[in-house]
Amino acid sequence: MIERINNFQLLFRYHAIIERLRGDPHPRLLLLSRSKETAARQGKELGVFPSSFNPITKGHMAILQRAAEIKAFKEILLVLDIHAMDKEIFGATLVDRLLMVHGLFEDYTHFSVGVSNRGLFLTKAEVLKVMYPGETDITFIVGYDTMKRVFDPKYYEDREEALDQLFRSCTFMVANRDNKGKEALQQLMASSANRRFKGKVHFFEIPNRLAHISSSHVRQRVMEGKSFARLVPPEIGECIKEVKLYKKDREVDPQGQRINRYDVRTQVLNRLYGLYPEGKVEIDIVQIVDSVVEGMRKGQDLEILLDTIPERVAVSNVGKSRRRQKDDSDVKLNMKPDM
C-alpha cells in the first residue's frame, strides 16, 4: 500500500476521476473496481456502504463484515462521497481516501468500490437504479448516526415526498455506533414522522469495542501522538504513518511558521497535477517533498519552492536513471559465466 500512495501516476488517475465527477453537473456514481463474478449476476442483493472514509477504520470493517454475515449480499459497494452531507474536506485528501479504500478492497471477491458526486441517499438510490438491473434490491448499510441524518428535515425541500421515494427504492441496515443501539433506533422510528418507514429499517449489532471506533477518534489519537494501530486495518495505518497524515504541526521554520508535511505533500501534488496533465511521468514524490520541507526549514518561502518543482523533478529523474544504471551494472557483475 505504501508503494501505491507514493505512486504519482496512480495518484493522478484518482485525481482525474475525482475532478471529472466534481465538474459533472449531473448525479454520477463511478465504479472503480468490480469483480467479474459479481458483475455477471442478475437479480441480486446489493449492499451499499457510503462514507467519507477519513480514514476507513476497524469500526467500518466490522459493520461490513457483520452485514455480509446477516444478509446474503452478492455485492457490497463501498462509495466515497466527494460531496458528503455536512462534511467539509479536511484531513486526508479525496485522492488519498480513494486510493486507500480502493487498495484495501479491490481484490475482495464480493466488494466493489465507487465514487459519488452526490451525498443525498435519494439521489444515490436513483442513480443506482439506473446502473443496476431493475430487479436489484438495494440496501444501504449505515451506522445509527447516519440513519438519524436521513430523517433530518434540513436535507429536503419536501421531506415527506423525498422519504417516500427513498424507501420505495431501498431498505436500510443500521448498526450501533458509540452508545446508540437498538433502543435509540426504536425511539427514532417510533416518532410519528418516521413510523411508516419502520419496516424498511433493520437494526444489527457489532461489538461495543468496535462500535466506539470512529474516524474522528483515529484522527484525534494520531494528532496527539498516541497509538492508533488497533483502530485501523494495518495497510491503512502504514499509509497514515508514511505520509504523516493527521499529525499535528510540531516543526517551525525560522520565520515561526509551522510546517505540516502532509499539507506540503498535498500542495506539491496539486502543483504536479497541473504541470503534468497527462499524469504519465514517473516522479519520486518522497524526494521532492523532502527537498521542499528542507527548504522551508532553512527559511525559504513555500510558494517559491513550489515554483522550482520542475527542476526538482528533473534532478530526481537523473538520480533515478543513475540508480537504474548502477543496478543493471550490479546485475551484470554478479552473473555467472555460462558453463
pLDDT (tens digit per residue) in 49-74: 999 999 999 999 999 999 999 998 98
Question: H or E stretch including 156?
Answer: none
Q: Is the pLDDT of residue 88 over 90?
A: no
pLDDT exceeds cutoff 80 at 325: no
> pLDDT tens for residues 140-185?
999 999 999 999 999 999 999 999 999 999 999 999 998 999 999 9
Peptide bond into 310 cis (omega under 30): no
**C-alpha atoms less than 13 angstroms from C-alpha of 163 in its C-beta half-sphere:** 22
Average pLDDT, the chain: 88
Mean pLDDT in residue range 281-286? 91
As beta bridge partners, residue 137 has: 45
Residue 133 vs residue 126, higher pLDDT: 126
Is residue 18 very low, low, confident or very high in pLDDT (cuts 50, 70, 90)?
very high
- The mean per-residue pLDDT over the stretch 202-210 comes to 96
Confidence of residue 322 (pLDDT cuts 50, 70, 90): very low
Domain boundaries 2-211, corresponding CATH code = 3.40.50.620
Which value, in Å, is the radius of gyration of the alpha carbons in the chain?
Answer: 23
For residue 78, the SS3 value is: strand
Task: Check whether 333 has a pLDDT greater than 80.
Answer: no
Question: What CA–CA distance (Å, rounded) separates 61 from 79?
Answer: 14
23-52 per-position pLDDT tens digit: 899 999 999 988 655 655 555 899 999 999
Neighbouring C-beta atoms of residue 2, cutoff 10 Å: 13
Contact 58, 230 (CB under 8 A): yes
Residue pair 80/97 in contact (Cβ under 8 Å)? The answer is yes
Position 324 scores a pLDDT of 47
Q: Which three cell numbers stand for residue 195?
A: 413510523
Question: Would you say 153 and 159 are in contact if contact means Cβ atoms under 8 Å apart?
Answer: yes
pLDDT at res. 74: 87
Other beta carbons within 10 Å of 234: 10
State residue 35's pLDDT score: 63
Residue 84: per-residue pLDDT: 67
Q: Which residue from 273, 246, 297 is spatially nearest to 305, judged by alpha carbons?
A: 297
What does the pLDDT average to over 316-326? 50
Residues 79/51, Cβ–Cβ less than 8 Å: yes
Residues 6+ apart with CB under 8 A from 178: 145, 211, 212, 214
Name the residue among 161, 77, 82 with its Cα closest to residue 117.
82
**pLDDT digits 0-9 by tens, 232-266:** 999 999 999 999 999 987 777 777 778 899 999 99
271 bridge partner residues: none
Beta strand 201-204 with 111-116: parallel, antiparallel or unpaired?
Answer: unpaired
pLDDT computed for residue 332 by the predictor: 42
Residues with Cβ within 8 Å of residue 201, at least 6 apart in sequence: 147, 171, 172, 174, 185, 189
What per-residue confidence (pLDDT) applies to 275?
92
- Pick the more confident residue, 107 or 215: 215
Instruction: Give the integer Cα–Cα distance in Å for 105 and 217.
Output: 22
What residue ranges do the domains of the chain occupy? 2-211, 249-331
Fill in the amino acid letter for 192: S
Higher pLDDT, 23 or 231: 231
Alpha helix stretches (DSSP H) within the chain: 2-5, 8-22, 36-39, 58-70, 94-105, 121-131, 144-150, 159-169, 182-190, 208-211, 215-223, 234-242, 261-275, 285-297, 302-307, 309-334
Q: Give the model's pLDDT for residue 42.
A: 55
pTM across the whole model: 0.88
320 band by pLDDT with thresholds 50, 70 and 90: low
> Tens digits of per-residue pLDDT, 176-198?
998 999 999 999 999 999 999 99
Nearest one of 21, 66, 74, 97 to 262, comparing CA atoms: 97
